[in-house]
A and B are shown apart, each in its own frame.
Chain A
Amino acid sequence: MKETSQDIQRILEQFVDAQTAGRMVEDIQRADELMSAAATVKVRDEMVAAIREKVHRRLAARKIRNIRIRIEKFVIAAAAIIIVAVLAEVFFNSQQDVIPVGGALTTLSIWNDTDVSVLKGQVETLSNQMDKVDQTAVQWLDENNGLTVEVDNLEEVALNTEFWKG
């Protein structure tokens, strides 16, 4: 907002004496009056309408551009997320594959023939031991024949009486 004459006088008095400031203010005031008295120029209504139309078109274009920018940003962000996710999955999967396979290959040495023969020997020993246990059991049953008959009888009684039905 423009200063009043008093404001201008006050400002001018900081640089010149009061009398000169007064004259300057008078000059400014008179010039302002002449300016105001001069013919006012107005823009034609058709021109305003044309400007409005141009502005509307530009606004519509700006809106479309903004939407496109937003979509582009969204697509870029989504693509970045997908790429990161895929890379992370690939990385973790490769970590899981590499460690056990590497471990198995380095810790188990079943790939040479000497190790296979050792294993075969161990399996054979275990098989012999199981046979021995079987033989011992059969031998014990033969020696205690009465007990096996008694067990058979008890099983038969149990099946026939159906005591479990209450």
Chain B
Amino acid sequence: MDSEQLKVLIYKCKAGQQGAFDQLIALYADRCFGFLYRLSGHRQTAEDLLSELFIKLVEKIGTWDGGSFDNWIFTIAGNLFKDHLRADYRRKKLLQEKAGQLQTGEFAEARNDLEDKLQQALKRLEPEIAELIMMRFYADLSFKEMAERRNEPIGTTLCKMHRGLKKLREIMEVPEKQRPI
């Protein structure tokens, strides 16, 4: 679907057409799910967030200003994930206070059911860099678009991204034993 067709589709969504929303879900569900899954490492969380994302879209689609829709929708998805992390942190803290013996590490480990190489590598990156990499991969954004979204010079975004991708490559390519500590 080219950008003009996508624009028409979004205008139909703005008008509240059910069929248009179905098309939009078909178009973005997998990519948004992949993005949220890779960030959270947990299928159930990713599904909940995906559902929340599309419900939010019904209410917020009218505020889309005609710019890059991918940028817009993945920014909302990223914000939802951050909100989830904050809520999760508060919940864990509360549980720790109540139970006194709950180990956060174990809790996080038990929730993480996507244990492929990439997921393990992403866990070792700073959350900001991991989100940046996911944004580039799933939202298909250019460095220029990402820099604009983050309100920073393109050189800064490129350096952060390079640092993150280099680390990701090292973690994924170099075996555990040979990895520098």
| A residues adjacent to B (C-beta < 8 A) | 1-3, 8, 11-12, 14-15, 24, 27-28, 30-32, 34-35, 38-44, 47-48, 50-52, 54-56, 58-59, 62-63, 66
Nearest residue, chain B, Cβ from A39: B116
Do residues A47 and B21 form an inter-chain contact, with CB atoms below 8 A? no
- Looking at chain B's contact residues, the main secondary structure is helix
Q: Are A8 and B158 in contact (CB under 8 A)?
A: yes
Can you list 14 pairs linking A and B with CB atoms under 8 Å apart?
A: A1-B142, A3-B142, A3-B144, A8-B158, A24-B162, A27-B169, A28-B161, A38-B117, A43-B50, A52-B22, A54-B51, A54-B55, A58-B59, A59-B21
In the complex, besides A41-B38, A41-B114, A48-B26, 7 extra interface pairs with C-beta distance below 8 angstroms are: A2-B140, A11-B155, A31-B133, A32-B137, A34-B168, A42-B30, A43-B30
Q: Is the CB of A42 within 8 A of B161?
A: no
Whether A62 contacts B59 by the Cβ 8 Å rule is yes
Pick from B34, B55, B143, B165: contact of A40, CB below 8 A.
B34
Whether, in the assembled complex, B74 has its beta carbon less than 8 Å from a beta carbon of chain A, the answer is no
B→A interface (CB under 8 Å): 16, 18, 21-22, 25-26, 29-30, 33-34, 37-38, 46-47, 50-51, 54-55, 57-59, 114, 116-118, 133, 136-137, 140-144, 154-155, 158-159, 161-162, 165-166, 168-169, 172-173
- Looking at chain A's contact residues, the main secondary structure is helix
Name the A residues within 8 Å of B168 (CB-CB): 31, 34-35
Q: Contact between A63 and B114 (Cβ–Cβ < 8 Å)?
A: no
The answer, among B47, B118, B143, for a CB contact under 8 Å with A35, is: B118
How far, in whole Å, are A146 and B104 apart by their CA atoms in the complex?
142
| C-alpha spacing A59/B118, complex, angstroms | 37
